[in-house]
Amino acid sequence: MARIYERVALIGLGLIASSMAHAMRRGGLAGEIVGTARSVETREIASEIGFCDRVVDSATEAVQGADLVVLAMPIGAMEPVALEIGPHLAKGATITDVGSVKRAVVEAVGPHLPDHVDFIPGHPLAGTEHSGPRSGFAELFENRFTILVPDENANTEAVARLTRLWEGMGAKVETMEVDHHDLVLAVTSHTPHLIAYTMVGVADDLRRVTDSEVIKYSAAGFRDFTRIAASDPTMWRDVFLNNKEATLEILGRFTEELFALQRAIRTGDGDHLFDYFTHTRAIRRGIIEAGQDTDAPDFGRIGKKS
C-alpha cells in the first residue's frame, strides 16, 4: 500500500486514534504520525507503547505541517480544540473526526477552520467497550464501515484521498448526508446503547435479584447488555446530548413497539409475538450475511481482542 499522507496528527489518543495509528503503520499509509492528548498520563502511555512517531504536549504543536488532522476526542471537546488549532493548520490539509454524531461536529468545528483546509467529518463504525491508548489494535476497522459526510462543496480529491486511507486500514467507506447519518446511527447504535444502559440499571435496581446472582447467572442477552453498557461514559454522554432529536424520535418508536409487545403478552397473542420475532430474526440474518457479525455462539469474540 502506497503512502497516502506525509504527516498525520492525532488529537486524542484513545481506542480509535491508537487503532488508526497501528493500522496506518501496518500498511505504511503515513510518513509520520504525531499524537497528542489532554492528559499527561495518556501521552506518557502512548509514548511508552510507541504507536506514534512523536507524542507532543499540545494540539497546536501536533498539527504543524500535518496534511491530515484527526479529531479523536469526545464531541463536547471538539469546539475548543478547533478554535485552538485553526490558525496553525497547513494550507491544503484535511481535517476529519471520528465522532458518533455529525451535525453537532459540523456546527462545532466547521466555523473555526480556515478556508484553506478541507473539512471532511467521518465516523468509523467500529469499537469495543474498552478505551484509552492501550486498547487500540490494527484490525479494529477491518470489514467495518466508515461513513464520511462531506458537504456539497467538498473537495472531491480530498474526499477520495481520505477514502483511500480508510480503505487501506481495512474499512468499507460510504458517504452520507449529515442529518441522515445521525438518524441512522440513532437506530443502529445510540438507542441500543441507551437501552443497554437502562437494562443494566434495572437489574441493579431489582434488589430481589442479588448482585452475585446477576453476575453468576448472566445469560447471553444480559451479558451482552453489560458489554455495551461498559462503554466510555464521557463519549456516550456527549452522543446523547448532541443527537437528542433523532434519539428521542427512535425512543418514541421503541416505546410504541414495547407497548404493543406488552399487550400481546398480556392478552396471550402468540401469533403477534411469533410474527414479530420471525421478522427481527431475519434482520439478524441480514447482518451476518453482510459480514458485520458471525453466527458463532460466542459472536466470534472469544479469543479475540475485544
The rounded distance, in Å, linking the Cα atoms of 243 and 264 is: 32
Report how far apart, in Å, the C-alpha atoms of 132 and of each of 8, 127, 227 are.
Answer: 19, 12, 16
Q: Classify 101 as helix, strand or coil.
A: coil
Contact 246, 183 (CB under 8 A): yes
The rounded distance, in Å, linking the Cα atoms of 59 and 10 is: 9
Residues 231 and 148 grouped into a single domain = no
Residues 222 and 157 grouped into a single domain = no
Contact 220, 302 (CB under 8 A): no
Label residue 238 exposed, middle or buried (CB < 10 Å: 0-12, 13-18, 19+): buried
* pLDDT at 304 (0 to 100): 41
- Grid cell locating 183: 438518524
Residues 139 and 200 grouped into a single domain = no
Residues 68 and 111 grouped into a single domain = yes
Pairing of strands 30-36, 94-97: unpaired
Q: Residue 169 is part of a domain; what is its CATH number?
A: 3.40.50.720
Residue 212, domain member (yes or no): yes
Contact 36, 46 (CB under 8 A): no
Residues 129 and 34 grouped into a single domain = yes
Residues 168 and 239 grouped into a single domain = no
* pLDDT at 250 (0 to 100): 83
- pTM here is 0.77
**Among 139, 159, 176, which residue terminates a domain?**
176
| Location of C-alpha cell 421503541 | 254
Q: Which residues does the chain have with pLDDT short of 50?
A: 299-306
Calculate the CA dihedral of residues 15, 18, 22, 23 and round it to 10 degrees.
60
Residues 273-292: tens digit of each pLDDT: 998 888 887 777 777 777 76
Contact 101, 244 (CB under 8 A): no
Q: Under 8 Å CB-to-CB from 223, ≥6 apart: which residues?
A: none
The rounded distance, in Å, linking the Cα atoms of 287 and 229 is: 21
Q: Classify 119 as helix, strand or coil.
A: strand
Residues 200-232: tens digit of each pLDDT: 777 666 655 555 666 565 556 676 777 777 777
The boundaries of the domain holding residue 163 are 5-176
Q: Residue 244 is part of a domain; what is its CATH number?
A: 1.10.3660.10
What is the number of structural domains in the chain? Answer: 2
* pLDDT at 1 (0 to 100): 66
Of 235, 133, 257, 256, give the one whose Cα is nearest residue 189. Answer: 235
Residue 123, domain member (yes or no): yes
